[in-house]
Amino acid sequence: MKVLKKVSFKTLGCRLNQFETDALVTSFHNAGYQVVDYGERADVTVINTCTVTNQSDQKSRNTINHAASLNRDGLVVVTGCMVDNYKEKLESQEQITYVVDNDRKSRIVDLVDGHFSGEVLHPDKLMGDRFGFDTVQKSLHTRTSVKIQDGCDNFCTFCIIPSVRGRAVSRPVNDILDNVRRVVDHGFKEVVITGVNIGRYDYEGKTFEHVVEQVLELPGDFRVRISSLEPDGFSNDFHRLFAHPKLAPHLHLCLQSGSDPVLLKMRRMYSAKQFMDIVERFRTAIPDFNFTTDVIVGFPGETDEDFQKTVDFVREARFSHVHTFRYSRRTGTRADRMKDQVSGRVMAERSEVIRKLANALRLDYMSAMKGSSQRVLIEKVNERMMATGYGEHYLPVTFPVKDPTVNRFADIQLTGIITGDDPVMTTEQIDRQFI
């Protein structure tokens, strides 16, 4: 019997990277490889890196070194945004077998197949295609993403992404719809629309909202979730789409700062008031709509007054989760050359303030959701027959079940909260027909 070669994956960074790794998992599986957990012995280890911050670079370097030490006789393939940022440096490292940029990431299986067949192929000879990934079939996750766009033209002063992901490019609408049809046919119950700057989708005059509308009209028992979104990429009546039962009432809308002077220095394309107007429009139409966000503390020149405006904004917007970043200098960005860099001590203090406020707001939102019904996508069932998953509002839920089957919906009613570092909603009243 033929022994299958083993391949493992490690993904760092954004949801788009996660999608691209899942697509590679499918490609390797279809090519006859056995996919194993990262950390197990493997013939091939693919590391999908991130370079958005200095900390991301360090995590990527540590992962590369760890993978090389785990499998000294195996191939180590490094791809992702760190490659586009430090390609020559990575190519000079002996423990890395192949270095593949984002343009050619979808063709990694061809590179590896060639290697094992004795074919010497340089990654730069692979055909570049940002949308050339296989439809996800075998995944490391219960939900799957569909990539509709790549690259960014915003050039925020703190961000390296336009340099490593390139200029904005959009995928044809029909290709997107066909991709969604196929992943639903493969049994996925939740589809996440993703990209680098999806709100700026533009293909032959079709906008992001047009794509969402078309996806929602496809047949099948599935729901749609929208990945991270900039607050300047949709119309004033965008909220109307969320009346559709398939579209999850949750948005991760990137704030970064509640201070207009800081937003201007960041080269963000909106004001604090414009952002709050979006929140209020949504909450007027859908009172329990869930907003989560990103905040950068310690941006160059951020004063105590600027930071207080961010604190006040976060409190008023009532985000249920705030992903807080301490500003990280990136060589090649304008912010790196700005004066008045904020000290690490001040950034740590400000980060802790946001963290405590965000935890309180999360518990407030969860408390307000008690008594409501949710349709949970079951992702895991443990040995005690306790299921965990997310409701449509993107709140984590745990509850008892009789059937251990995962990747299915359960209609439940939220009754309590398990507090801790990561609070979880609980339920006791379960609609038995779904269990």
Question: Of the candidates 336, 354, 369, which is a domain's last residue?
Answer: 369
Residues 324 and 200 in one domain: yes
Residues 218 and 301 in one domain: yes
Interval 289-302: pLDDT, tens: 999 999 999 999 99
Strand order in the sheet with 144-147: 144-147, 190-194, 223-226
- Which secondary-structure segment (H or E) carries 79? strand 75-80
Interval 149-169: pLDDT, tens: 999 998 999 998 888 888 999
Q: Answer yes or no: is pLDDT of 430 > 50.
A: no
Q: How many domains does the chain have?
A: 3
User: For the purposes of burial, counting CB atoms within 10 Å of the CB of 199, is it exposed (0-12), middle (13-18) or buried (19 or more)?
Assistant: buried
| Average model confidence (pLDDT) across the chain | 92
Q: Answer yes or no: is pLDDT of 435 > 50.
A: no
Please tell me the pTM assigned to this model.
0.89
Structure tokens that stand for 9 in this block: 């994956």
Which CATH number goes with the domain that contains 64? 3.40.50.12160
Q: 57 and 25 in contact (C-beta within 8 Å)? A: no
Domain range for 330: 144-369
Read off the pLDDT of each residue in 307-328 and give the average, rounded to a whole number. Answer: 96
- Using alpha carbons, select from 2, 78, 66 the residue that is nearest to residue 34: 2
At residue 1, the pLDDT reads 53
Do the domain assignments include residue 152?
Answer: yes
Q: What is the DSSP letter of 178?
A: H
Which CATH number goes with the domain that contains 334? 3.80.30.20
Residues 212 and 272 in one domain: yes
Within the chain, how many helices (H) and strands (E) appear?
Answer: 11, 22
Do the domain assignments include residue 130?
Answer: no
Burial 173-187 (b: 16+ CB within 10 A, else e): beebbebbeebbeee
Residues 255 and 391 in one domain: no
The position carrying tokens 């060589």 is 331
Residues 228 and 359 in one domain: yes
Structure tokens that stand for 246 in this block: 């398939």
At residue 428, the pLDDT reads 61
Q: For residue 225, how far is the Cα from the chain centroid? A: 11
Do the domain assignments include residue 136?
Answer: no
Do the domain assignments include residue 132?
Answer: no
Read off the pLDDT of each residue in 73-87 and give the average, rounded to a whole number. Answer: 92
d(CA 247, CA 228): 15
Q: 320 and 290 in contact (C-beta within 8 Å)? A: yes
Q: Answer yes or no: is pLDDT of 86 > 60.
A: yes
Residues 231 and 326 in one domain: yes
Q: Answer yes or no: is pLDDT of 408 > 80.
A: yes
Between 359 and 71, where is the model more confident?
A: 359
Q: What is the residue type of 160?
A: I
Q: 397 and 341 in contact (C-beta within 8 Å)? A: no
Maximum average pLDDT range among 57-61, 71-75, 107-111, 247-251: 247-251
Q: Answer yes or no: is pLDDT of 127 > 90.
A: no
Residues 338 and 196 in one domain: yes
Q: Please state, as a whole number, how many other Cβ atoms lie within 10 Å of the Cβ of residue 340.
A: 10
Q: Answer yes or no: is pLDDT of 137 > 90.
A: no
Q: Answer yes or no: is pLDDT of 196 > 50.
A: yes
Question: What's the distance, Cα to Cα, between the start and end of the chain in Å?
Answer: 41
Among 54-68, 207-221, 373-387, the minimum mean pLDDT is found in 54-68
Which CATH number goes with the domain that contains 400? 2.40.50
Measuring CA to CA, how many Å separate 67 from each of 18, 49, 64, 331, 428? 18, 13, 5, 27, 43
Percent with pLDDT over 90 in the chain: 77
At residue 2, the pLDDT reads 64
Between 197 and 2, where is the model more confident?
A: 197
- Percentage helix, strand, coil for the chain under 3-state DSSP, each rounded to 5: 40, 25, 40
Structure tokens that stand for 392 in this block: 């449509």
Angle CA 53–55–59, to nearest 5: 120
At residue 332, the pLDDT reads 84
Residues 278 and 423 in one domain: no
Do the domain assignments include residue 383?
Answer: yes
Do the domain assignments include residue 133?
Answer: no
When pLDDT is cut at 50, 70 and 90, the band that residue 432 belongs to is very low
Return all residues near 304 (Cβ < 8 A) that are at least 6 apart. Answer: none
Q: Answer yes or no: is pLDDT of 3 > 80.
A: no
At residue 434, the pLDDT reads 38
Helix locations, 186-321, DSSP H: 208-216, 260-266, 272-285, 304-317
Q: Answer yes or no: is pLDDT of 363 > 90.
A: yes
Do the domain assignments include residue 253?
Answer: yes
Percent with pLDDT over 70 in the chain: 97
Residues 364 and 381 in one domain: no
Strand-pairing partners, residue 398, are: 388, 426
Do the domain assignments include residue 94?
Answer: yes
Return all residues near 384 (Cβ < 8 A) that are at least 6 apart. Answer: none
Measuring CA to CA, how many Å separate 309 from each of 82, 294, 335, 354, 358? 34, 15, 20, 12, 15
Question: Of the candidates 353, 369, 385, which is a domain's last residue?
Answer: 369
Residues 351 and 391 in one domain: no
Question: Of the candidates 347, 369, 391, which is a domain's last residue?
Answer: 369
Residues 305 and 408 in one domain: no
Q: What is the DSSP letter of 370?
A: T
Q: How many CA atoms lie within 13 A of 402 on its CB side?
A: 6
Residues 361 and 406 in one domain: no
When pLDDT is cut at 50, 70 and 90, the band that residue 401 belongs to is very high
